[in-house]
Chain A
Amino acid sequence: MELFTPEFGLVFWMFVAFLCLYFILAKWAWPFIIKSMEERADKIDKGVAYYQEAEARLSNAKAEADKLLAEARNEQADILREAAKMRNDLIEKARGDASIEAKKVTEAAQVSIEQARKESEKQLRLEVGELALQIAEKVIRRNIANDDAQKALVDQYLREVETKN
């Protein structure tokens, strides 16, 4: 029965040892350890939440970036298309302007040519008239009965005029 009888000395020392152990650990160890572990658990939880949020944000940002990129691409295509159109317009306009100008120049030239022609025609008529008068004068002056000889003379003068011109 000795086994089931608590020994006084052992009870005493066990009590003392346990209380010392309790006060030492309760004062300097357990609260700190528990606090540290809970802080770490907290931090890990927060880290996971932060990570998930960051991941969501990242995917959002990616989607946004893709959207922006697509927009930029569209804009770029628009700008290019517009630029091409503008260039074509410019060329077209320039070409139109040029042809109008050319037409004007041509018309002016034609007008002046016409004028010159009319002038020269007038001149020519004057000259021809004069010439005819001269020819007639000469013909009359010779007074030769031969018609053929007269005709040849006229021809000769006319030819002279032609070569002058």
Chain B
Amino acid sequence: MKSKIITAIVALVIVALMGWGYYSSAEHRAHGHAGELNPKETIFEHLGDAYGWEVPFNHSVRIPLPIIVWGQDGLHCFMSNRITGGETYDGFKLSTSEEHHGKVVQVMADGSEVRPWDFSITKNVAGILIAALLVIWMVMTLKRWYARNGMKAPRGGTGFLELVVDFVYGDTIRPILGKHAPKYAPYLLTAFFFILTMNLLGLIVIFPGGANLTGNIAVTLVLAVLTFLITTFSGTREYWKEILWPEVPMALKCPVPMMQLIEVLGMFTKPLALMVRLFANMMSGHMVVLVLVLLIFIFTNLFGVGVGIGTSIFSVAFTLFMLLLDVLVSFIQAYVFTILSTIFISMALVEPHHSEAE
């Protein structure tokens, strides 16, 4: 009972910190640029990537991260704090132009800006790596438990992890894929835990978290492409036959390959939907929280401090609600991505049904 109360208090403190962090970062952003409030810029800056990692309460100091670029004259590596203040280092600077806004560009002799191949460890890349390490740590903890304790049921965090693995593998992947399950389970489980960790990390505002990872289309693009590749390369003869010569009236497929067009389109829309679903869900969660917080400053600017304080009460309440909802959404979206990938793979593994024998 006592430990439950402590857990509840810790959870409340974390949630409160989340909200507080959003406030402080949003406030700094809102007033960072010459004291002028620009909600759109603030929101998009927060949702996007950055060189260096912000720390709470101080907008000028950032945790430096390595910048790795392949410019016109080869490879360049340096820490991000050399250019995030607006300086030019080694011929590189953060662009202020419309086209490459906020990105690293190489300044040419004639003053034009050229975007190099950018392999920088940005905030999001660092977040991805941290998430990957966290997943390795979590999964290895579970593995070590089995290696050491064999048949004993794990307790605490490891027990929860096992519950999740059992839910994803035992209740989802295995029933859908059947005998193929062991072959595809590593990919699906890895994807699930990676997405879940990235989702939850994105909700924590201070250092190891705060990067809007799964709310970034590049991240979901890679995940969707991997599912697409796996689906396509595991396709059976029957799968390709259903795409290229489906069982429909001849008029629909022979002179004009209408069905084939739809089926081929379907091959691409499925992963596309995966990509957009995860991206939009996670990004919108962040966006709503940001808008709720920014409402305080907008109302303060428009109607004065009194109204701002009044708004803040509602904003805090809704922000906390949204953050808790996002925790739920994090689990749901990770699960949805996994179950849909599983279903797409199982559709590619289709065996010929025996209706043709009639």
With A3-B44, A21-B190, A25-B190 known as contacts, the answer to whether A34 contacts B185 (CB < 8 A) is yes
Q: Does B216 contact A (CB under 8 A)?
A: yes
Chain A contributes a number of interface residues (CB within 8 A of B) equal to 35
Q: Does A14 contact B (CB under 8 A)?
A: yes
* Alpha-carbon distance A41/B166, docked complex (angstroms): 10
Q: Does A51 contact B (CB under 8 A)?
A: no
B169 touches A20 (CB 8 A): no
* Alpha-carbon distance A66/B165, docked complex (angstroms): 49
Q: Does A138 contact B (CB under 8 A)?
A: no
Chain A residues with CB under 8 Å of B222's CB are 11, 14-15, 18
In this complex, what residue of B is CB-closest to A5? Answer: B217
In this complex, what residue of A is CB-closest to B43? Answer: A3
B128 touches A4 (CB 8 A): no
Interface hub of A7, A22, A36 (most chain B Cβ within 10 A): A7
* Alpha-carbon distance A29/B190, docked complex (angstroms): 10
Chain B residues with CB under 8 Å of A32's CB are 143, 146-147
With A21-B190, A26-B187, A43-B151 known as contacts, the answer to whether A9 contacts B120 (CB < 8 A) is yes
Chain B residues with CB under 8 Å of A5's CB are 217
Q: How many whole Å from B78's CB to the nearest CB in chain A? A: 15
Q: How many whole Å from A23's CB to the nearest CB in chain B? A: 9
Tell which of A4, A18, A34 touches B169, judged by Cβ atoms closer than 8 Å.
A34
- Measuring CB to CB, which residues of chain A are less than 8 angstroms from any residue of chain B? 2-15, 17-18, 20-22, 24-26, 28-34, 36-37, 39-41, 43
Q: What is the predominant secondary structure among interface residues of chain B facing chain A? A: helix
With A21-B194, A26-B190, A31-B186 known as contacts, the answer to whether A10 contacts B124 (CB < 8 A) is yes
* Alpha-carbon distance A39/B125, docked complex (angstroms): 38
Chain B residues with CB under 8 Å of A17's CB are 125, 128-129, 132
Chain B contributes a number of interface residues (CB within 8 A of A) equal to 49
Q: Does B30 contact A (CB under 8 A)?
A: no
The stretch of B134-142, B313-321, B349-357 in contact with A is B134-142
Chain A residues with CB under 8 Å of B293's CB are none
Tell which of B182, B221, B283 touches A6, judged by Cβ atoms closer than 8 Å.
B221
- 3 nearest CB pairs, A to B: A26-B186, A6-B218, A36-B146
Chain B residues with CB under 8 Å of A10's CB are 49, 122, 124-125, 128, 216, 218-219
B48 touches A2 (CB 8 A): yes
Q: How many whole Å from A47's CB to the nearest CB in chain B? A: 10
Interface residues of B in 142-183 (CB under 8 A from A): 142-143, 146-147, 150-151, 153, 162, 165-166, 169-170, 182
Q: How many whole Å from A33's CB to the nearest CB in chain B? A: 6
Q: How many whole Å from A107's CB to the nearest CB in chain B? A: 93
* Complex A-B: 13 CB contacts under 8 Å: A3-B217, A4-B217, A6-B217, A7-B216, A10-B124, A21-B135, A24-B136, A25-B190, A29-B140, A29-B143, A30-B189, A34-B185, A40-B153
In this complex, what residue of B is CB-closest to A30? Answer: B186
Chain A residues with CB under 8 Å of B283's CB are 3
Q: How many whole Å from B221's CB to the nearest CB in chain A? A: 5
Interface hub of B129, B162, B194, B218 (most chain A Cβ within 10 A): B218
In this complex, what residue of A is CB-closest to B193? Answer: A25
Q: How many whole Å from A8's CB to the nearest CB in chain B? A: 7
